[in-house]
Amino acid sequence: MKRLKLNNVEIGRIVEYNGPFMSIYDFFPDATEELLAPHRNWLEPNALEVGTDMMLMPIQSYVVHTPTAKILVDSCVGNHKSVKWFPPWDQKEDSNFLTGLMQEGTHPDEIDYVFCTHLHVDHSGWNTQLSNGRWVPTFKNAKYIFSKTECDHAEKLYNKYGDPTFIENVLPIIEAGQALLVKDDFELDKFVRLEPTPGHTPGHCAVRLFDGNKSGVISGDLIHSPVQCQFPHWNFKFDFDKELAAETRLNFLQQHYESGTRILTAHFPLPSTGTLKAKGDAFRFIYDKE
């Protein structure tokens, strides 16, 4: 990806994985063949695999270069992580992320801040890496910005269900003294701030980017697929609060359509970035040209 520019703010991408993830009918319980039929012409083959109806979704991070800092937003799945519910991610070992980061032009030690839109494994995995049997921060010179609401939720998921994400990706950062637990409207500086977008998780936040007359937003998982621009009420089956997730998503689409705001999504087909337009009584995502 050539860096996207918002005046003096530049954004690069690191892709850890890009391919089939889950059947669209499993991912979105409200999806039906009848509802999908009129939209296959623009969903296939990039967002929806022909013949299988598997959703094609990248796992990726963004590196935001501002005049004052280098910021990693979301950190993909990571290596050696415990992901029993999705075997391709469980205990995986590859160099995709770290190689991609270097190819983007950034060394891990150059990252000043790590922002996580939320604390699911595919957005927080490279927060840490395994070293001599211990989880240690991957970005040793960075402060990690965690929503306190989201951090508390991740800890509850560990205590109640044994979800290891908190133990593997969050607690080691706190113990290393590199975590900043912040409010969901935290503002780093005039270039970067958080925007509360709850529903997928209680403390989910989008990351807003500004410089002069240009703005962007890294959406995280408040929206997973371009099909939700047509059907904003469709929820991912694992959204924590489905009613709130749908409300947040619709508000987001209404706020940003026709605004010129650059939308940087987590899981839309590559190039994953673009702008929102109106389409009848719904919305359409207009992809950037790479």
Q: What percent of the chain has a predicted confidence (pLDDT) above 90? A: 97
138-174 b/e (C-beta count within 10 Å ≥ 16 → b): bbeebbbbbbebbbebbbebbeeeebebbbbbbbbbb
**What is the rounded distance in angstroms from the CA atom of residue 85 to the CA atom of residue 67?**
40
Contact status, residue 101 vs residue 108, Cβ threshold 8 Å = yes
Segment 189-201 mean pLDDT: 98
Please tell me the pTM assigned to this model: 0.96
Residue 163 has pLDDT above 90, yes or no: yes
**What is the rounded distance in angstroms from the CA atom of residue 230 to the CA atom of residue 282?**
5
Segment 249-269 mean pLDDT: 97
Helix (H) or strand (E) holding 152: helix 148-161
Please write the tens of the pLDDT for every residue from 55-105: 999 999 999 999 999 999 999 999 999 999 999 999 999 999 999 999 999
**What is the rounded distance in angstroms from the CA atom of residue 90 to the CA atom of residue 77?**
9
Contact status, residue 7 vs residue 211, Cβ threshold 8 Å = yes
**What is the rounded distance in angstroms from the CA atom of residue 166 to the CA atom of residue 121?**
9
Segment 215-240 mean pLDDT: 98
pLDDT of residue 30: 98
Contact status, residue 146 vs residue 205, Cβ threshold 8 Å = no
Average pLDDT, the chain: 97
**What is the rounded distance in angstroms from the CA atom of residue 214 to the CA atom of residue 186?**
20
Residue 148 has pLDDT above 90, yes or no: yes
pLDDT of residue 280: 86
Domains of the chain: 4-218 (3.60.15.10)
Q: What percent of the chain has a predicted confidence (pLDDT) above 70? A: 99
Span between the terminal Cα atoms of the chain, in Å: 7
| Selection from 119, 146, 117, 148 nearest residue 222 by Cα | 117
pLDDT band for 281, please (50, 70, 90 cuts): confident
DSSP state for residue 158 in the 8-state scheme: H
Helix (H) or strand (E) holding 24: helix 24-27
**What is the rounded distance in angstroms from the CA atom of residue 64 to the CA atom of residue 52?**
35
DSSP letter string, 227-261? HHHH-TT---TT-SSHHHHHHHHHHHHHHHTTS-P
pLDDT of residue 100: 97
Residue 279 has pLDDT above 90, yes or no: no
| Selection from 220, 14, 211 nearest residue 98 by Cα | 14
Segment 232-244 mean pLDDT: 97
Residue 290 has pLDDT above 70, yes or no: no
Segment 11-33 mean pLDDT: 97
Angle at 45 between CA 40 and CA 51, to 5 degrees: 75
Residue 2 has pLDDT above 90, yes or no: no
